[in-house]
Each structure stands twice: as structure tokens, then as C-alpha cells.
Amino acid sequence: MKIYDIAPTKIGTMKNRILTVILLSLNLSFAVAQSSSTEIWLIDLATKDGKQIAGAPARVTDNDFYDNQPCFSKDGSMIWFASMPDTIQSDIYSYNLKTKETKQVTSTPESEYQPYPIPFYRDKLSIIRVDIDKAQRFYELPFDGSEPGLLIPNEDSVAYYCWMNDTTLGTYMLNGGGGSLQQFDLIPQQSIILMPFGGFGRCLAKIPGSADLSYILKNSDGKNILTKFNFTTQERSPLAEMPGDIEDYCWGNDMKVYIGNGGKLFSIDTHEEGAKWVEVADFSKTVGTFYRLTMSPKGDKIALVSYKGKRP
């Protein structure tokens, strides 16, 4: 996508500018992945007699271009996502679950990605925007159509992120060899480098019911390990081994982790000692292969992103 163990070292306000030639190269490689067709699907989840039940998949998008990075609104009534109808730039769209209506939210010369509700606002999203100078910056996007405002003014290489609380983010920055995993505090504008030289996945998430960050640790032996990082103690601990090279996941309200593998939806209870991945549903003949997932606030729906061919 275009925008999309070492002791932590604290640094002050940073301005990590990537050389233009490096950033252009990164953007070019990401654009290739984005040119492929991806679709968003919506699935109902329920529990009956202690067993998870998944409903029939319903399409959110149905076209031949890039639709990706879905997230639910705070009340679960909307899905926000990034869409690229051409190979030039992407915009943010919304999908109303009740009316099934899709609306374009942004229409700009820049590319916007990774929409997510801002914890401390009711009427704003956070987004990554690839500006005209090719820098990838972190913005707040008001619902009223007014201009986006910078949330991190001194950073121009933000790739992926997750909100930990009102002022703290887990971020994947496009700097250092392979990127760096950071804790970024909006107040003050400073970061703590957790992993400086890659070796982790793009999917960052807050663990429900805690103040801990989860990410995929990519070990040298080829195994991907879902890992917990405690911001208070600075301790890391493994939660589960991912099947194969899977690096995309989401948390449910039931404290289970959900993934897609071979067109099937799996879950694992990380609080259960010796837990194994359990098949929830087989969507190989309907959705096909899928990777990115996001859970609704109530835990009763999950959105999936399907793809054809090689995983983007």
C-alpha cells in the first residue's frame, strides 16, 4: 500500500524526513499492491449454545478497484473505508449499514487512507494523507467537510497507527531499516521507539479491556507471533503463533483474536492456556481469500477485505 529485543529509547520532538527518492520508491511499490481489486464484506456474528455462528456474507463494495481499510463508526452504524476508483489517488468513503448507501467523504488531489474515529471527538476521523510532496502525514478529518488539520505536525512518514487512548498512538513509521514501531504521545509531541529496524507487521491494535498494544513480531525463523506490549512496564509477551505468514488480525469484544486464512475465519482465545486456532466459518466459496478484518463496537459484526491472487 501507498500509505498504506531492544530496550525502548525515548527521544524528543522529532522531524524524521525521508529522502525523496526513498519515499517515492516506497510509494511506487505500494501503488502496485493498490492497483489490484479488493472488496469489503460484512458478516453477522452471534453465539449459540456456546458456539460462534457466522451469517451469510453481504457485500459492502462490488467493483474492480481498490476498496480497503474498513473501520466501524463508534455506534456501529457506519463503515468508513478507503477507495481508489483509479490508479492515481484514493479517497475516504462511508457505508450506512441500515440504508446500504455509500457516500464519498473526501475528494482531493491528495490520497487519504486508514480512517478511524478519534477517541476524543464525536465528529472527526483520523486519517493518513499522502500530501502533494509525497509525505505521509497524520490528520484529523472533520465530518462537516472543512479542511483536515494536522495531528502530528513534525512527522512526515506515518504508515500505520492505532489509538491507545485520547493522546497516545501506536505507530508504524517509515523510517529506519524496515520502518520503526513507536509509541507516539500527542501531548507532548514526542515518541518512544519500541522497535527501530523493522521485524514487525503492519497491523497494530489496542487490546480490549487494557492499555496494551498488540502487534505481529516477525521472527528470524519465519514465525509470526502475536505480541503484547505493556506501555507502563515496557514488557513484551507472546500471545499466539500465527498460522503461516498471516499478519492481519482483529480483536473481538470476547477477547478473542480473529484472522482470515485460506478463505476461512478463525479465532483464538489468548487467555486460554494452550489454546488453538478454531475455525468459525468457511467463506472460501463466497468471499474467497481475505485478510484485513475489523470488528464492530458491539462485537456482532465483522468486516472483511477479500482479494484475488497474491495477498496485497
pLDDT band at 309 (very low <50, low <70, confident <90, very high): confident
In a domain? residue 103: yes
pLDDT of 8 over the 50 cut: no
- Residue 24 phi, psi dihedral angles, 5° rounding: -60, -40
- Encode pLDDT of 221-258 as tens digits: 999 999 999 988 999 999 999 999 999 999 999 899 99
Could you give the CA distance from residue 154 to residue 111 in angstroms, rounded to a whole number? Answer: 19
The pLDDT, as a whole number, for residue 88 is 81
- Answer yes or no: is 161 within a domain: yes
For 42, 176, 214, 261, 273, the CA distances from 287, given in Å and listed in that order, are 10, 37, 27, 12, 32
The answer to whether residue 216 is domain-embedded is: yes
- State the total domains in the chain: 1
pLDDT at site 312: 87
Does the structure show a pLDDT above 80 at 32?
Answer: no
Question: Which whole number is the average pLDDT over 156-182?
Answer: 94
**pTM reported for the whole predicted model:** 0.88
Evaluate if residue 16 carries a pLDDT over 70.
no
274-285: pLDDT as tens digits: 999 999 999 999
Instruction: Tell me what the pLDDT averaged over the chain comes to.
Output: 88
Among the residues of the chain, which ranges form H helices? 20-34
> Where is 218: in which H helix or E strand?
strand 213-218
Q: Which pLDDT belongs to residue 86?
A: 80
Q: Answer yes or no: is 242 within a domain.
A: yes
Q: Which CATH number characterizes residue 116's domain? A: 2.120.10.30
Task: Count other C-beta atoms under 10 Å from residue 104's C-beta.
Answer: 11
Residues 40-84 pLDDT 10s: 999 999 988 888 899 999 999 999 899 999 999 999 999 999 999
Is the residue at 163 inside a domain?
Answer: yes
Q: What stretch of H or E contains 143?
A: none
pLDDT at 13: 34
Please give the pLDDT value at position 205.
98
> Is the CB of residue 156 less than 8 Å from the CB of residue 174?
no
pLDDT number for residue 24 = 33
Rounded to the nearest 5 degrees, what angle is found at the Cα of 143, between the Cα atoms of 59 and 165?
A: 90
Average pLDDT of the segment spanning 137-165: 95
Q: In percent, how much of the chain has pLDDT > 70?
A: 88
Amino acid identity of residue 56, one-letter, is A
d(CA 259, CA 253) in angstroms, rounded, equals 15
Domain-located, residue 223:
yes
pLDDT at 1: 29
Whether 4 is covered by a domain: the verdict is: no
Q: Are 169 and 150 in contact (CB under 8 A)?
A: no
On whether residue 155 sits in a domain, the answer given is: yes
Alpha-carbon gap, residue 115 to 70, rounded angstroms = 8
The parent domain of residue 64 ranges over: 9-307
